[in-house]
Amino acid sequence: MKVTEIVTGFAKPIVEEHGCSLWDVEYVREGSEWFLRLYIDKESGVDITDCEAISRAVDPILDEKDPIAESYHFEVCSAGLERALKRPEDFVRFMNSPITVKLYRPRNGLKEIPGYLRGYEDGRVTVEAGKETITFEKSEVARVRLRVEF
């Protein structure tokens, strides 16, 4: 089982006890350092108090369960306004929202396509970009993020 799956298993109930939802768990290497990050969300918005309380509640369980052999930094963060959409339910929840699709290879000279999420099926993402509607195959898409408009 992956580190992220193990941590999700014990962190999710703790996050929910604190009135938040667990958006994502990330275990990544940045330079020579490893980071374990919990991304949390809350209807009224996440603040530093939420992050601190959840960090204090999860940290001792991480020490007890010890799912990671190497040293790492543990962080609890807000999922953010421009969060990545990963799971099918994320796409359903944010249907018709402004997004940016980042591609592995440029299409019409662009690697990032801003638009509105109009469909999601079996990993294919449909976007209304200006006057055209484009469907991207799962294999083309590196990442989909919500986009904040001002």
Backbone angles phi, psi at 55, to 5 degrees: -60, -45
Domains in the chain: boundaries = 3-78, 88-146
Identity of the amino acid at 9: G
So what CATH class is 88-146?
mainly beta
- Report helix, strand and coil shares of the chain as percent, to nearest 5: 30, 45, 30
pTM score, whole prediction? 0.82
Backbone angles phi, psi at 70, to 5 degrees: -80, 170
So what CATH class is 3-78?
alpha beta
**Whose CA is closest to 101, among 65, 70, 51, 140?**
140
Indicate if 88-146 has the same CATH topology as 3-78. Answer: no
The tens place of each residue's pLDDT in the chain, 150 residues long, gives 799 999 999 999 999 999 999 999 999 999 999 999 999 999 899 999 999 999 999 999 999 988 898 899 999 999 999 999 999 999 999 999 999 999 999 998 999 999 999 999 999 999 999 999 999 999 999 999 999 988
